[in-house]
Amino acid sequence: MMFDDLTEVPVDVTVVVPTFNERESIAPLVRALEAVLNPLPYRTEIVVVDDASPDGTAEVVRRLPTRVPTRIIVRHHDKGLASAVLTGVSAAKGRVCLVMDADGSHPPDMAPALIETVLEGRAEMVLASRYAPGGTTDQGWPSARRLMSRVATWLARPLTSVHDPMTGFFALDSRILSRGDLSPIGYKIGLEFLVRCRPHPVLEVPFVFRDRRVGNSKMSFKEVFRYARHLSRLYLDRMEGKFGPYIPSPDVPPGGEKTASPGPTL
Ligand SMILES: Nc1nc2c(ncn2[C@@H]2O[C@H](COP(=O)(O)OP(=O)(O)OP(=O)(O)O)[C@@H](O)[C@H]2O)c(=O)[nH]1
Ligand SMILES: [Mg+2]
């Protein structure tokens, strides 16, 4: 059953999934999310934000019988990954939002730990991190993508000290959104949230990033140029003093073990 009219349903947690041509991946992801979300003692929903995928992703979602309330937002204008995530987070009914890719790279069984960290107030933002100690990317991820990711992370280093500001898998308290004048360009909306909204504390949980098994990556050279524009805006705005003050985060990850990185620095 699709849940079309959810206006009256109270929700604690929203899982936001941006999609573009993910016809084959979206159903397995929703199934896996149901399995981990249903046992939780919170009211959850899934919001899929699809940029009018020509492969019929939206239709697959509409037809899916789901046990977790699921909405689909189809956008025909102002497309792009960062703005899709912002659309989803803005439309979320939950105070806590979990953002993850549809392509199987982000393990759904980490969802409860990420959600609870924010819901219980241990962090305003928690990142599933490939580059924190204990995290990694699987061997199948092409070396060119690996290198791009490392260079992109290094270029953002003066803006934030988290290990993996490029991750697309994170949870946040949606109340931080009003703190930043967000300007989503390109792919890296997590970086935008970190730098402009100044979440505090920020924690990182290591994870193993799996390369997608089906469908195609949407990463392209266009995105490289968009990232350059995104970074230059962030650096310019920092020079103009547009961000709030930096508050270091404690070096304590969810669960209390000592493996997380510090929060963003400036
Ligand atoms: N709504 C929307 N979603 C997008 C867009 N581009 C990518 N996505 C989704 O964002 C997620 C990440 O996209 P990918 O193409 O896998 O990019 P990536 O994970 O950064 O890079 P790879 O490692 O190459 O897979 C997937 O769920 C995509 O379907 C877009 O323009 N609009
Ligand atoms: Mg991917």
CATH of residue 44's domain is 3.90.550.10
CB 105 near ligand 1, within 6 Å? yes
Sign of CA pseudo-dihedral 160, 100, 72, 40: negative
Residue 244 lies in a domain: no
Residue 260 lies in a domain: no
Beta-carbon neighbour count of residue 234 at 10 Å? 24
For residue 229, give Cα distances in angstroms to 65, 86, 261: 41, 18, 27
Residue 261 lies in a domain: no
Q: How far is the CA of 21 from the centre of ligand 1 (A)?
A: 9
CB 20 near ligand 1, within 6 Å? yes
Query: Predicted confidence band at 217 (pLDDT cuts at 50, 70, 90)?
Result: confident
Mean pLDDT of 230-256: 73
How far is it, in rounded angstroms, from Cα 37 to Cα 232? 38
Reported pTM = 0.91
Residue 203 lies in a domain: yes
Tokens of 129: 């991190």
Residue 66 lies in a domain: yes
Nearest listed ligand to the Cα of residue 17: 1
In this predicted structure, the answer to whether residue 58 has a pLDDT above a threshold of 70 is: yes
Domain carrying residue 199:
13-239
In this predicted structure, the answer to whether residue 4 has a pLDDT above a threshold of 70 is: no
Residue 3 lies in a domain: no
Residue 181 lies in a domain: yes
Beta-carbon neighbour count of residue 144 at 10 Å? 9
Q: How far is the CA of 101 from the centre of ligand 2 (A)?
A: 7
Residue 19 lies in a domain: yes
Q: How many domains are contained in the chain? A: 1
